[in-house]
Amino acid sequence: MTTSRHKTHHGPSLTLLWQTSLAQQTKVFVGGDELAKLGAIVGQTRAGEKILLLKQPTLPPMTLAKIVASLGDKGLSVSVMEVPDGEAGKSLTCLNNTWERLQELGFTRSDTILAVGGGAVTDIGGFASATYLRGINFIAVPTTVLAQVDAAIGGKTGINLPAGKNLAGAFYFASAIVVDTSLLATLPRRDFVSGLAEIIKYGMIEKTIANESEYVAGPKPLFPFLEECLDEHFAYDHVALPGIITSCIKMKLSVVAKDPQEKDLRRCLNLGHTLGHALEAASDFELSHGEAVAVGLVFATTLGIKRNKIDKDNLPRLTSLLKRSGLPTRVPASISVEKLSKAILHDKKRQAQAIKMVLPEGAIGLVDYHADVNIAEVDQLVADFLSD
């Protein structure tokens, strides 16, 4: 992974060139005014003249106009398709509608899907790109904290099935990912706070990533740094946010470069997600992804303490940070043990008699990403967690 910087009137802009072990390459652009450069960025990929821009209904009209103008200035033909907000957009119906639109537009392999939105939009855009004509050009413009630090980075694409989240998907790498931090200014507060859960997760796995990849941590570990700056007043314009987002992106890229298809180290990124994904499904997606992952981090830490992997003092540090950030730490009372346990058993990391989980181990920042939880234990573990 190589890095270059240049200054703009919006502050520093960062370009990361990411080479995976699959001999594929992605350019990641990070800055405060990247949308204005989007036409030029698209021109650096293998893009043809046609662009299908996937967007959510909540994308501000001024943002859409800026994107279309930048692409039009480079002679690109842009068609816009709206997909439903949130997890509703990650459906077979939405995927089929996207395929049909690509066919109507006469797309070739060199033409581009440009997904502008949160993780659900980049997921459906990436999966449609992976599967149409066995692979067309894909570019992601993540517009939420969660998507900028995690969902749009790393090549995981997918849709939901009735039985659970992300059960159909593919590894497919974007040719470019454009992270414009100014887009976070328009996020509703709940969406902004939801993304902080993934940032906190990175603080809990940073040392493992530094030990096992090319990632180089900063002078202060991320978790204690977050303990200093995250509170109810933390917002998109906080001076620390661009640096935090950049650190998370570098962690994710370093992990994926080492393990693009989640055979080993990449599993550490699933910290909090076993219970998190199950909780999303059990709540009928009334809980956001970040809210569910926040509770999942508490569950994983609690289990780590039960297994004597970590000191019990780590739990109040985590719950305090989550609460100060505005995130939940408990499963809603409306969700039963039975419903949550059943959802966990649909986890895609399940093996014959066990589920692979990521558990904190040792100091904050270190994890065991090979932990097994026996299927027979699940009901009792969930019951204990809900009763604590």
- DSSP string over 213-234: SS----SS-HHHHHHHH-STT-
Which residue has 């703009």 as its token pair? Answer: 8
Q: Which tokens sit at 302? A: 């609690």
Domain that holds residue 198: 189-387
CA within 13 Å, CB half, 109: 5
What is the model's pTM?
0.88
CATH of the domain at 104: 3.40.50.1970
The angle formed by the CA atoms of residues 260, 262 and 264, to the nearest 5 degrees, is: 110
Of 136, 142, 149, the closest CA to residue 98 belongs to 136
**How far apart, in whole angstroms, are the C-alpha atoms of residue 212 and residue 334?**
40
Encode the chain (388 residues) as per-residue pLDDT tens digits. Answer: 554 443 333 345 677 766 655 556 888 999 888 998 899 888 887 667 899 999 999 999 999 999 999 999 988 999 999 999 888 889 999 999 999 999 999 999 999 999 999 989 999 999 999 999 999 999 999 999 999 999 888 888 999 988 878 889 999 999 999 999 999 998 999 999 999 999 999 999 999 999 999 999 988 999 999 999 998 889 888 889 989 999 999 999 999 888 988 889 999 999 999 999 999 999 998 999 999 999 999 999 999 999 999 999 999 999 999 999 999 999 999 999 999 999 998 877 777 788 999 999 999 999 999 999 998 899 999 999 998 8
Residues 126 and 221 in one domain: no
Q: Are residues 152 and 229 in the same domain?
A: no
In terms of domains, do 203 and 317 share one? Answer: yes
Rounded to the nearest 10°, the torsion over CA 186, 189, 190, 193 is 100
Which CATH number do you get for residue 242?
Answer: 1.20.1090.10
Q: Are residues 286 and 375 in the same domain?
A: yes
Alpha-helical regions (H) of the chain: 38-43, 61-72, 92-104, 119-131, 145-146, 189-212, 222-229, 241-258, 273-282, 289-306, 314-325, 337-344, 378-387
Q: Are residues 193 and 158 in the same domain?
A: no
